[in-house]
């Protein structure tokens, strides 16, 4: 399915599936969609999340303690797609769970579930030949990360391997909320645009209304992750879906303001 980037910026929300449990994750996802999220990144918990900061690390640990696996996330995606045909659904994972599940098997199940694609955080374009072949044969998007430290030649390769959109990492380091977005983000988006016409989404550190509005000035998408996961972590029992929806509506208000400007 084509990913929808009609709004500016398109709001992309990351959630760690299985935190605090899969039933609640489904409720959170549905609440986020109802609040206006256009694309959901369904995070697969992993025991060694090297790109993630403390908030998402804790969420992954809680989900793993619940026994959450990639197969469970795919089942969740299938149910979300059954209820919402237009929302973008992306599997966000590290490579190891994908290899254990099997690349061919993953692509088959993802296609049957009507997922849009996947983002494997630690898969480099240099090692992605089989993955690209398998995913493209099923019509699934392959989304790669572009970092401020990437050379132009590497950005060219990332652009050639990517479909759906390109995820521009706003800064070096791990995920987590920050008070300000670095200028690296704007400069990186400018560099990536030399090599692609795909939408570009900026992530790592976006958590406020002001930051979403700032991203709208130069990128098609804004990814919010740690702020949502922290909202879930701090919510009392049964309150997480409502609190996440409130945060999404607040951020979408920033998007509308940016569009009017």
Question: Which sequence positions are flagged as catalytic?
Answer: 41, 52
Report whether 235 contacts 243 (CB < 8 A): yes
Which residue is listed with tokens 């240099």?
126
- Residues ≥6 apart with Cβ < 8 Å to 76: 17, 22, 25, 26, 29, 42
Phi, psi of 94 (to 5 degrees): -90, 165
Distance between the two ends of the chain, CA-based, in angstroms? 31
- Which helix or strand (DSSP H or E) is residue 14 part of? strand 10-16
Beta strand pairing call for 200-203 and 117-120: unpaired
Supply the DSSP string of 93-113, one letter for each residue.
E-HHHHHHH-HHHHHHHHHHT
Largest CA-CA distance found in the chain, in angstroms, rounded:
48
Phi, psi of 179 (to 5 degrees): -70, -35
Query: What is the sign, positive or negative, of the torsion defined by CA atoms of 156, 9, 44, 87?
Result: negative
112-134 as b/e: b if 16+ CB within 10 A: ebebbbbbbbebebeebeebbeb
């Amino acid at each position: 399915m084509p990913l929808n980037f009609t709004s500016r910026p398109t709001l992309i929300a990351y959630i760690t599936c299985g935190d605090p449990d899969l039933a609640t994750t489904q409720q959170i996802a549905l609440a986020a969609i109802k609040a206006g999220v256009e694309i959901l990144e369904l995070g697969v918990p992993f025991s060694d999340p090297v790109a993630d900061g403390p908030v998402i690390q804790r969420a992954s640990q809680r989900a793993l303690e619940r026994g959450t696996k990639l197969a469970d996330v795919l089942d969740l995606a299938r149910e979300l797609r059954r209820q919402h045909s237009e929302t973008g659904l992306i599997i966000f994972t590290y490579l190891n769970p994908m290899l254990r599940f099997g690349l061919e098997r993953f692509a088959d199940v993802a296609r049957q579930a009507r997922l849009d694609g996947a983002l494997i955080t630690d898969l480099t374009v240099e090692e992605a030949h089989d993955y690209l072949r398998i995913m493209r044969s099923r019509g699934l998007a392959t989304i790669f990360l572009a970092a401020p430290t990437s050379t132009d030649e590497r950005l060219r390769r990332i652009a050639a391997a990517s479909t759906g959109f390109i995820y521009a990492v706003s800064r070096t380091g791990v995920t987590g909320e920050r008070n300000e977005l670095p200028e690296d983000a704007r400069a990186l988006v400018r560099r990536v645009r030399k090599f692609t016409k795909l939408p570009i989404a900026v992530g790592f550190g976006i958590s406020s209304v002001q930051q979403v509005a700032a991203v709208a000035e130069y990128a098609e998408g804004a990814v919010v992750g740690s702020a949502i996961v922290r909202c879930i972590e701090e919510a009392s029992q049964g309150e997480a879906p409502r609190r996440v929806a409130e945060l999404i509506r607040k951020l979408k208000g920033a998007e509308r303001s940016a569009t009017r400007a």
